[in-house]
């Protein structure tokens, strides 16, 4: 029987959480009402429509937000910002063809806008209907990129300003979800970004001299990110910053994102200097140049525009990217890609324009999440999961669920009749498209997907962990696997089913389980994946044994300092060998250095 004191504590905590959530809902609704009042005062102001549309989306009312933006376009004088907001709202709800049509209309209305042209050329879905649709949009993307580059003019100040505005509104993040080697497309895009930035800042695209540290002087390392807050990038890479030897390294961090929280403050305390310039690449550029880092590391190129723009310049003698961004930067100004030995396949270098560096293990030092089990009061019924179900947690971003994965779930369900697959779908329209796709795959096995699939809205952090604790198995995605989600699953004692893909981003769970030393749930292929998932669903004794082995070995996974020590040695080596007046990448390439080198 449960301790009555614990039950009382849980009840009090639950009431506090529910009160906090209620206040947050009320605050969001109040924000919506304030935006409505502003719109009533001036129904001709496009900014009022943008603000209300955004507030409605934040409150989960995505379709109403789209309707407000469309109404603004109909009622207001032409506004590029309003059109772009409408386009991206449609795209985020997987209404891709409507978004493309709206972007084509924007190109006609604003013929001098590079933002409209770039948006129209490179729009991609959140969720694909079929493998054929992936091919269609990939070909469309490639053709659109060539068309945009062919029409890009940088010979006049207005044209250069328009190009930089376009780059400030775009990333190639969605391209990586197609599960292909994007190196050539990224190279083209990166060269285009570099050309635009070079036209605006010609002085800062030249190689920076390496001023070697004098005796007793520290090596200066700068980290650039738009995610210096509670994000997966910080969960994976903040250990590099936290555990640097402050006697030998001086650490600078440059936060280009808007958000800040307690994690931001933790990082700030670890730095010699923490510079926060949300939405201001010019201020960040000046700050970096003033600090003169020997090595500048971009933690998340590709996740937001500003790090890509900064990395297209030469702001330090040595510049590197990491796998906080999904793929190669494609930039000629980024010399190295800091990855790891377990995730990278043998041919990993062919996936990057940078020189590949393989740090030990999974390459980062991640802390084990402190999962407050005593505060978890929710049961399966709170999530719509049957008590007798073999509950498979599928909590990756919707982008990661490629069409070929649907049949895998249906095959598992055909053999585990008590199976329930639990998904988290923050955007209802995307969830509805996914439901329809799953329905076809399950029907092919003679099953009704509604009997097996549970769709939940976005969860709070505590509720997310609670969901893990009531499920039985964690199913990894293919093509782009889990990283922090997998680390969370292990901490919550869920066995993880995975199979390694061809690219680093499809091998993250494989690497994590390999370092953990619990490899029996790593499948060699899709058929093996199904077999392992089925056995975990049916054989509770084997599942318990896997969980026990995971728990007994997690010290091998969490708080691993080896990558930090190796990274520091790499910093020493690269600073030492970089010529005083040369670009690191060119000299390293000439000597064959950096090609998959392990540290």
Return the CATH number of the domain spanning residue range 204-367+561-598.
3.40.50.11380
447 backbone dihedrals φ, ψ, rounded to 5° = -120, 160
Fold of 373-556: Rossmann fold (3.40.50)
- The pLDDT of residue 590 is 38
Topology match between the domains 204-367+561-598 and 373-556: yes
- The pLDDT of residue 202 is 92
Q: Is the pTM of this model over 0.75?
A: yes
Q: How far is CA 575 from CA 289, 413, 440, 585, 596, in A?
A: 17, 55, 56, 12, 18
Specify the CATH architecture of the domain 28-111.
Alpha Horseshoe (1.25)
**Do residues 517 and 553 make contact, with C-beta atoms less than 8 angstroms apart?**
yes
318's enclosing H/E stretch is: strand 318-322
Catalogue the E-assigned strands of 32-122.
Answer: none
Q: CA-to-CA distance for 57 and 67, rounded, in angstroms?
A: 11
- The pLDDT of residue 581 is 64
Q: CA-to-CA distance for 516 and 343, rounded, in angstroms?
A: 13
- The pLDDT of residue 445 is 96
Split the chain (599 residues) into runs of 10 and give each run's mean pLDDT.
64 72 81 82 89 92 95 94 97 97 97 96 97 98 98 92 93 95 97 96 91 92 96 94 96 96 95 93 95 97 94 97 94 98 97 98 94 88 97 96 97 98 96 97 97 96 94 96 96 97 97 98 98 98 97 95 97 92 47 55
Closest by alpha carbon to 127, among 174, 58, 79? 174
Kindly list the domain boundaries of the chain, sorted by start residue: 28-111, 120-200, 204-367+561-598, 373-556
- The pLDDT of residue 458 is 93
Q: CA-to-CA distance for 457 and 523, rounded, in angstroms?
A: 30
- The pLDDT of residue 2 is 63
Rg of the chain over all Cα atoms, to the nearest angstrom: 25
DSSP assignments along 207-253, one per residue = PPP--PPPTTPPEEEEEEES--SSSHHHHHHHHHHHT--TTTEEEEE
Q: CA-to-CA distance for 465 and 373, rounded, in angstroms?
A: 9
């Amino acid at each position: 029987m449960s301790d009555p004191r614990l039950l009382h504590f849980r009840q009090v905590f639950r009431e506090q959480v529910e009160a906090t959530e209620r206040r947050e809902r009320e605050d969001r609704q109040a924000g919506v009402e304030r935006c409505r009042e502003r719109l009533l005062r001036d129904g001709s102001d496009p900014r009022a429509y943008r603000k209300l549309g955004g507030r409605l989306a934040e409150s989960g009312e995505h379709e109403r937000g789209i309707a407000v933006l469309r109404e603004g376009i109909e009622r207001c004088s032409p506004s590029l910002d309003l059109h772009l907001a409408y386009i991206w709202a449609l795209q985020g709800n997987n209404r891709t063809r409507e978004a493309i049509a709206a972007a084509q209309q924007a190109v006609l209305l604003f013929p001098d806008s590079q933002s409209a042209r770039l948006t129209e050329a490179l729009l991609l879905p959140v969720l694909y209907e079929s493998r054929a649709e992936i091919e269609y949009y990939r070909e469309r993307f490639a053709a659109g990129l060539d068309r945009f580059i062919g029409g890009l003019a940088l010979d006049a100040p207005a044209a250069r300003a328009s190009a930089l505005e376009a780059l400030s509104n775009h990333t190639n993040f969605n391209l990586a979800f197609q599960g292909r080697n994007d190196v050539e497309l990224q190279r083209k895009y990166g060269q285009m970004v570099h050309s635009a930035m070079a036209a605006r800042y010609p002085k800062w695209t030249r190689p920076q001299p390496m001023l070697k540290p004098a005796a007793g002087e520290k090596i200066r390392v700068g980290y650039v990110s738009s995610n210096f807050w509670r994000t997966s990038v910080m969960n994976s890479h903040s250990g590099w910053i936290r555990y640097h030897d402050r006697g030998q390294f001086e650490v600078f961090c440059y936060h280009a994102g808007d958000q800040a929280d307690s994690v931001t403050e933790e990082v700030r305390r670890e730095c010699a200097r923490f510079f926060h310039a949300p939405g201001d690449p010019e201020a960040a550029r000046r700050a970096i140049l003033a600090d003169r880092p020997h090595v500048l590391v971009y933690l998340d190129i590709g996740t937001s525009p500003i790090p890509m723009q900064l990395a297209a310049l030469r702001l330090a003698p040595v510049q590197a990217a990491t796998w906080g961004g999904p793929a190669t930067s494609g930039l000629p100004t980024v010399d190295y890609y800091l990855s790891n030995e377990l995730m990278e396949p043998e041919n990993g270098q062919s996936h990057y324009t940078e020189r590949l560096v393989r740090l030990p293990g999974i390459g980062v030092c991640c802390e084990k999440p402190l999962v407050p089990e005593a505060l978890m009061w929710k049961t399966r019924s709170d999530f719509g999961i049957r008590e007798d179900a073999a509950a498979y947690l599928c909590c990756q971003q919707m982008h990661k669920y490629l069409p070929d994965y649907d049949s895998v779930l249906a095959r598992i369900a055909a053999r585990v009749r008590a199976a329930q697959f639990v998904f988290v779908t923050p955007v209802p329209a995307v969830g509805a498209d996914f439901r329809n796709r799953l329905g076809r795959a399950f029907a092919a096995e003679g099953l009704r997907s509604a009997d097996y699939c549970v769709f939940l809205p976005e969860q709070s952090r505590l509720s997310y962990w609670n969901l893990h604790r009531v499920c039985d198995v964690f199913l990894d995605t293919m093509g782009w696997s889990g990283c922090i989600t997998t680390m969370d699953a292990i901490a919550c004692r869920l066995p993880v089913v995975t199979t390694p893909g061809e690219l680093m981003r499809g091998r993250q769970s494989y690497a994590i389980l390999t370092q953990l030393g619990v490899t029996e749930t790593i499948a060699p292929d899709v058929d093996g994946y199904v077999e392992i998932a089925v056995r975990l669903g049916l054989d509770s004794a084997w599942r318990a044994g896997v969980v026990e082995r995971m728990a007994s070995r997690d010290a091998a996974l969490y708080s691993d300092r080896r990558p930090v020590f190796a990274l520091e040695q790499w910093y020493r080596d690269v600073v030492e060998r970089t010529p005083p007046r040369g670009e690191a990448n060119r000299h390293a390439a000439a000597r064959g250095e950096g090609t998959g080198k392990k540290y």
